[in-house]
Chains A and B, each alone.
Chain A
Amino acid sequence: MNAPSNADSAHELLIRDLSADLTPVRRLRPPSVRTFSWLVIVAATAVILAMIADLSALGHRLAAAPDVWLAVTGSALTAILAAFAAFQLSLPDARRAWALLPVPATLLWIVASGFGCLRVWFVPGTHAADLSEARDCLIFIIGLSVPLSALLVIMLRRGCPLQPGLTAATAGLAAAAAAATLLNFFHPFDAAATDLAVHVLAVSLVIAGNSALSGRLLSTNFYAAT
């Protein structure tokens, strides 16, 4: 019988170290349940915002422009699917393909918002956002995305993502889409090209910020410590 090599004895020592202080662990809840928990917080935020928003203006806007429904549905679905994908990606055995889950909803969101731009060009009397209103949109989306992203990242840290950058970026998309959906409470104008560009810029900034900052928070690379 061969004597154990240095590597074998190192593995054996590590196994003993890891099992020496083994404590019972609480199993992670399924991604669907964790997504639902996050969405409950988003829904609570929506209720608070609805109390201070002009709901009649929102009602008029939705009745006058059916494509707005599509855009809102697209952004809400993007938030739900991206959050679910992020929770899936927070599992160590997750496949990268989960990151593609929110893509169809994101396309619906973008295309429906594009229809809004066309209406501004072809239908007289529509109120398009001016630059200061577009700037307010940018501030709203980024301002609301920060706490929603932070909450999501804290919840994702309970998992063990082995693709932290991708997980953080997907979480950023979820938070930005949720913020853009909630923006509709305070968005009494049609999506002109500048407005759409500002929304895209805000969502991109949130995703990039999440990848750069939260990616490190979610990292489980043991070599990073030394």
Chain B
Amino acid sequence: MTTIPVDFPLKDGIFRFDPAYWHGRRSPSGSITDTEIAKRAMTKAVPDVAIAGADHRRSALMAAAQAGDSAAYQMLLRDCIPVIKGVARRRRVDADRIDDVVQDVLLTIHRARHTYDPSRSFTAWLCVIAERRSIDLLRRTRRVDMREVHAPLAFESHADDEAADPSRGLAQADATSTVARALATLPARQREAVQLFVLEERSLADTSALTRRTRGSLKVNLHRALKALRSKMEFRE
């Protein structure tokens, strides 16, 4: 479990503390685990001095990130990961899906960073986003589970009636070569995303591990590739 020092100096050495913010509490000392911070923020317990310090530090980092400080932003996002994991665990997200929630929340923070008001608690802001994204993932997983069954043997042994049609083979070969030509014109990263996701039907986790690229970057590349392919195919038609 990660323990973060509460009196964490910022890059410029300035630790701004607004006494009015946490109801007149003084600058913090000591340390507290991130899971504990998330837990107390979620249960709306009155924050103690250590929580206020960690939260205030995150608020200051986010304010710096809003001004374009990428070092502060990296520090903040790394600091958010244990909090997000704590919230996802409490929401009973499966252990193997918690990292999906982390990625989703990091992308959401990036997309929503202009909506954060530094006069409010960052940890509470983060916990609500993590909670909402955990619920989204649970709903998505439940929908997929209701629609699909995992039966690899049944899938492999399913007879394809249309395979017997010889004209279909010719049409398919023609379509395949058209797609291959369009695919060859894509940038390398986009081509790789289509190859691994669509043609080799690899999972997001597999592809991420194989290419050493982030899930977010893989999704963006695939999205752009499919859009480019669609426009190329429409142009040919």
Interface of A with B (CB < 8 Å)?
6-7, 9-20, 22-28, 30, 91-95, 159-160, 162-163, 220-223, 225-226
A23 contacts across to B, CB distance below 8 A: 68
B136 at the interface (CB under 8 A from A): yes
Given known pairs A27-B117, A226-B219, the reply for A221 and B136 (CB within 8 Å) is yes
Complex CA distance for A22 and B81, rounded to whole angstroms = 19
Closest 10 CB pairs of A and B: A160-B112, A24-B68, A14-B214, A25-B114, A93-B128, A7-B99, A19-B70, A13-B214, A22-B70, A92-B112
A22 contacts across to B, CB distance below 8 A: 65, 68-70, 73
- Given A14-B214, A19-B77, A30-B117; 20 other pairs, CB 8 A cutoff: A6-B205, A9-B212, A10-B214, A18-B73, A18-B77, A19-B74, A20-B70, A22-B65, A22-B69, A24-B67, A24-B68, A27-B66, A92-B108, A92-B112, A220-B112, A222-B104, A223-B140, A225-B220, A226-B197, A226-B223
Complex CA distance for A15 and B70, rounded to whole angstroms = 10
Beta-carbon contact of B129 and A92 below 8 Å: yes
Beta-carbon contact of A222 and B208 below 8 Å: no
Interface of B with A (CB < 8 Å)?
65-71, 73-74, 77-78, 81, 99, 102-104, 106-108, 110-117, 124-125, 128-129, 132-133, 136, 140, 197, 205, 208-209, 212-217, 219-220, 222-223
Beta-carbon contact of A11 and B136 below 8 Å: no
- By CB atoms of chain A within 10 A, which of B65, B106, B214, B222 has the most? B214
14 pairs from A and B in contact (CB 8 Å cutoff): A13-B212, A15-B78, A17-B217, A18-B110, A19-B71, A22-B65, A24-B66, A25-B66, A92-B108, A92-B115, A160-B111, A162-B132, A222-B107, A225-B223
Complex CA distance for A16 and B110, rounded to whole angstroms = 12
Given known pairs A18-B73, A24-B67, A93-B128, the reply for A225 and B81 (CB within 8 Å) is no
Q: How close is B211's CB to chain A, nearest CB, in angstroms?
A: 10
Given known pairs A25-B114, A159-B115, the reply for A15 and B74 (CB within 8 Å) is yes
Complex CA distance for A23 and B71, rounded to whole angstroms = 12
Complex CA distance for A210 and B112, rounded to whole angstroms = 22
Complex CA distance for A160 and B110, rounded to whole angstroms = 10
Complex CA distance for A221 and B212, rounded to whole angstroms = 23
The closest CB in chain B to the CB of A222 belongs to: B107
Complex CA distance for A116 and B197, rounded to whole angstroms = 62
Among candidates B66, B69, B106, residue contacting A14 with C-beta atoms closer than 8 Å: B106
B214 contacts across to A, CB distance below 8 A: 10-11, 13-14, 17
Beta-carbon contact of B102 and A162 below 8 Å: no
Beta-carbon contact of A28 and B77 below 8 Å: no
B108 contacts across to A, CB distance below 8 A: 92, 160, 162, 220, 222
Complex CA distance for A22 and B71, rounded to whole angstroms = 10
A95 contacts across to B, CB distance below 8 A: 128
Q: How close is A191's CB to chain B, nearest CB, in angstroms?
A: 40
Q: How close is B202's CB to chain A, nearest CB, in angstroms?
A: 13
Beta-carbon contact of A92 and B128 below 8 Å: yes
